[in-house]
A and B are shown apart, each in its own frame.
Chain A
Amino acid sequence: MPKILTLGLKDLTLAFRDRAALILMLLAPFILTLGLGFVTGRFSGGSQSGLSEIPVVIVNADADQLGDALADIFASEDLAELIAPTTVSDIAAARQQVLADEVAAAVIIPSGFTDAVLTGSSEIVRVEVHANPARPLSAGVVQAIVEEFLSRVQSGAVAGRVTIEQLVRTGRLAPQDAPAAAEEFAQRQSAPTTGAITLRRDEAIAEAQVEFDVLAYLAPAMALMFLMYTVGRGGATLLAERNAGTLARLLASPTSAAQVLGGKVFGIFLTGATQVGILILATTLMFGVRWGDWVGVVALVLAAAAAATGWGMLLAAFAKSPAQVGSVGAALMLIFAILGGSFGPNVPLPDWVSVIARLTPNKWGIDGFAALGSGNTLIDIVPNLFALLAMGAALFAVAVFVFRRQGLVK
């Protein structure tokens, strides 16, 4: 046991003395986490997405009640962080700003818009959202704001008409009094919220979601991606030692093959667990990431490192040279990352690929971290821990079988 420990600690020390390896083990995942934090809006006031101060140009050719109301909405305090509106009077100039990629969209309110809506005219007078296709998300937000406004306008107009017509039909209102009643109704009608449908979040889920920190997903996603690099590198050192003859020299000492292999595996595991641990600690200290149950986090780090170590050993068992481990390991790192969710949960994958993704440590690890980050505890991630440990054990068994067949030093 002391020999395994010594060999493991030796590999850990060598890995953390290798500046080139540190770039990919620690620096790359840290900077990429930072970038993804920007993308998700984690560093910009906690908004749900990274969109802010969307530049919009407004042309209010209507200059009447509804046109002014729509322009006011874009300039409102509620949207101050999200939208950065400007106003021009020339429609061609507004379109040019979109074409020049200066704004995400131009909102063009045509002349006579208010009249057409209030008189119930079927004349085609439409607000135009001239979208910039290079900024589809921002343009989509602008479109949604205009849609919501038009929906409210439509609701008011329909409510007024239905109310007056029904009052007349049921004899509650004399036909000759209808115009005056309609005007009075319109004035009394402020926010047409009566009868609107509301959405209620399930309380248990809502409580769990309140403190969820998106970095508790993104940081382990990046850490697990580069954990695959680390274990591949560890596997490559085994082959490098075999090629350099130091493995044979080690076996000439009173050290068994099992101890050498055990020490190597322990070294890879220790390096991987330390790498992920450092990244978790760094993001906690620098970004205040809320990880959830710490016991669960530690257990998950160890289990993920064990599963990844299994992959590293498997690579070393089948590869012919350290360079081959390096290149195949890098490829595996990227493939596992995209399948397992390291590039974000929105990658469009069919169901059958999602099943294959369960072969990656990334998938089980990221799901586990997300569960802990949203309020779950060690008990809730037992399936993830079991899957990761089983994966590590199975892969290690295959690697040992291959090593035995071909001989550790051959």
Chain B
Amino acid sequence: MAKIFAIAWKDALVRFASRSELLFFIILPLVFTFILGGGLTGGQDVDRRLRLLVTDEAASPLSADLLAALAKSETVQAEVLARAEAQREFDDRDASAWLTIPGDFSETLTLNVKTQPNDLNAQAAERAILAAAGEVGLANSAAQQSAAEAGRLRPFADEAERGRYLDEARTQAQALLADAPDRLEVTRAATPDRVPYDPGANSSAGQLITWVFIPLIGISALFAYERQQGTLRRLFTTPTERATYLLGTLGGQVAVALAQMTLLVLFGVFVMRLNWGQAPAALALMLIASALAAAALGTALGTVVKSEGQANGLSIMLGMVMALFGGCWYPIELFPEAVRTAVSVIPTKWAMQGLLDIVLRGQEVGGVLLEAGVLAGFAVVFFAIGVWRFHYE
């Protein structure tokens, strides 16, 4: 046991010999978790809606209704500006979309919108404009139908009479819509009172997996380094079993990874106010299973790489690719069905799923047994390959 600790301690010393390792161990993971979780934009209390430039050239009751509807939007934050100012801000790419309410809006019922060409936020802004326009359009649509029906039964004396009729109908429709009972109820599974939904949780879990998997897969570089230096062969001239060496190396790196994950979880709990602590046993199970799977993958990889440089490159690439395809950077639901199925063969998918089960869906140990079991399976298979293919030179 003393040898195992000695090997683990030696690896930790080697890894942290350079202070720059702290960048990857804790500083960058915290920075990325904080930024991607929206921490820089002020956490949960700050208005994170997309900025929408609006130029109101109509300044009519109808355009006022539209602005009021936009003000209620959960997606965009409308900012009314003069044309020249809005043009300048839009050209400077300070906003994703620019809505112009033209002077003849009340007659044409047409809005002009400009969106930035490379901006995914622009689509969301456009949808929000359509939703607000739809809300205002409801009353207008009802009024138009009413006026059309009235004109059909008895034509209006002149346009003024039609206009008055239309205004009255619109006012009545708006009142009716305001009083109409809400016909939609949105509930969220398993979450009431227990796990409030927070998109930051997704980035917290995703970054945790990304930053822990990369160095654990990087265990392969440790093996390659020792092989290149000849220290591995020298070590085995001493009375040290191969299993002792592997346990020491893996155990040490897994322990460091668990410490890293604990720090990231604590950061999530105390700084980002995420609900990581609602099922501590399940969380511990998932973190251990994830770390073992990643470390075993690093062990297996260590048997095929030829140099430390190759191992470093591969571990960074594999870590990033597996993080992306495992749903750690973007929700996995965005991938096509075939890809979602195919990525079941990578451990990050199961690690992410298990962590989201805990933090978003309120699952406890029983709810993450499948994910933890699959990760343990990965660990066994990769470790077996690592031991089987292990070589000194």
Do A and B form a real pair? yes
- Residues of A at the B interface (CB closer than 8 Å) are 18-21, 23-24, 27-28, 31-32, 35-36, 38-41, 43-44, 48-54, 95, 98-99, 101, 104, 113, 117, 122-138, 143-144, 146-148, 150-151, 153-155, 157-159, 161-163, 165-167, 170, 172-173, 185, 189, 192-202, 205, 208-209, 212, 214, 216-217, 323-324, 327-328, 330-331, 334-335, 338, 343-350, 353, 367, 370-371, 373-375
Contact between A18 and B134 (Cβ–Cβ < 8 Å)? no
B329 within 8 A of A: yes
Residues of A within 8 A of B376 (CB): none
- Residues of B at the A interface (CB closer than 8 Å) are 18, 20-21, 23-24, 28, 31-32, 35-36, 38, 40-42, 48, 66, 93, 109-115, 117-121, 123, 126-127, 129-131, 133-146, 148-150, 153-154, 165, 168-169, 172-173, 176-177, 180-191, 195, 197, 199, 307, 309-310, 312-314, 316-317, 320-321, 324-325, 329-331, 333-337, 339, 356-357, 360-361
**With A20-B313, A167-B153 given, is the CB distance from A196 to B142 under 8 Å?**
no
Complex CA–CA separation, A15 to B313 (angstroms)? 14
**With A20-B312, A52-B337 given, is the CB distance from A327 to B115 under 8 Å?**
no
Residues of B within 8 A of A133 (CB): 188-191, 195, 197, 360-361
In the complex, what residue of chain B is closest to A337 when comparing beta carbons?
B32
Contact between A328 and B20 (Cβ–Cβ < 8 Å)? yes
**With A20-B310, A135-B333, A195-B109 given, is the CB distance from A151 to B138 under 8 Å?**
yes
Contact between A32 and B321 (Cβ–Cβ < 8 Å)? yes
**With A159-B145, A161-B176, A162-B146 given, is the CB distance from A195 to B137 under 8 Å?**
yes
Contact between B18 and A324 (Cβ–Cβ < 8 Å)? yes
In the complex, what residue of chain A is closest to B319 when comparing beta carbons?
A28
Residues of B within 8 A of A32 (CB): 320-321, 324
Residue from B183, B189, B317 within 8 A of A153 (CB atoms): B183
Which of B117, B119, B136, B360 is packed against the most chain A CB atoms within 10 Å?
B117
Complex CA–CA separation, A344 to B168 (angstroms)? 48
Contact between A104 and B31 (Cβ–Cβ < 8 Å)? no
**With A135-B333, A167-B150, A167-B153 given, is the CB distance from A23 to B144 under 8 Å?**
no
Residues of B within 8 A of A323 (CB): 18
Residues of A within 8 A of B140 (CB): 195-197
Contact between B114 and A350 (Cβ–Cβ < 8 Å)? no
Complex CA–CA separation, A127 to B150 (angstroms)? 34
Q: List 14 A-B contacts (CB under 8 A).
A: A32-B321, A51-B333, A99-B190, A101-B361, A117-B183, A143-B184, A144-B127, A192-B141, A196-B133, A209-B117, A214-B118, A338-B32, A350-B41, A375-B117
**With A134-B356, A202-B113, A217-B118 given, is the CB distance from A172 to B334 under 8 Å?**
no
**With A129-B184, A185-B149 given, is the CB distance from A162 to B173 under 8 Å?**
yes
In the complex, what residue of chain A is closest to B153 when comparing beta carbons?
A172
Residues of A within 8 A of B126 (CB): 199
Q: How far in angstroms is the closest Cβ of chain A from B320?
A: 6
Contact between B331 and A136 (Cβ–Cβ < 8 Å)? yes
Complex CA–CA separation, A324 to B19 (angstroms)? 10
Complex CA–CA separation, A21 to B195 (angstroms)? 44
Complex CA–CA separation, A322 to B297 (angstroms)? 28
Complex CA–CA separation, A353 to B42 (angstroms)? 13
Contact between A162 and B143 (Cβ–Cβ < 8 Å)? yes
Q: How far in angstroms is the closest Cβ of chain B from A333?
A: 10
Q: How far in angstroms is the closest Cβ of chain A from B328?
A: 11
Contact between B48 and A348 (Cβ–Cβ < 8 Å)? yes
Residues of A within 8 A of B317 (CB): 23-24, 27-28, 31
Contact between A202 and B112 (Cβ–Cβ < 8 Å)? yes
**With A19-B310, A199-B111, A200-B110 given, is the CB distance from A129 to B189 under 8 Å?**
no
Q: How far in angstroms is the closest Cβ of chain B from A185?
A: 7
**With A50-B334, A53-B337, A95-B189 given, is the CB distance from A195 to B142 under 8 Å?**
yes
Contact between B137 and A196 (Cβ–Cβ < 8 Å)? yes
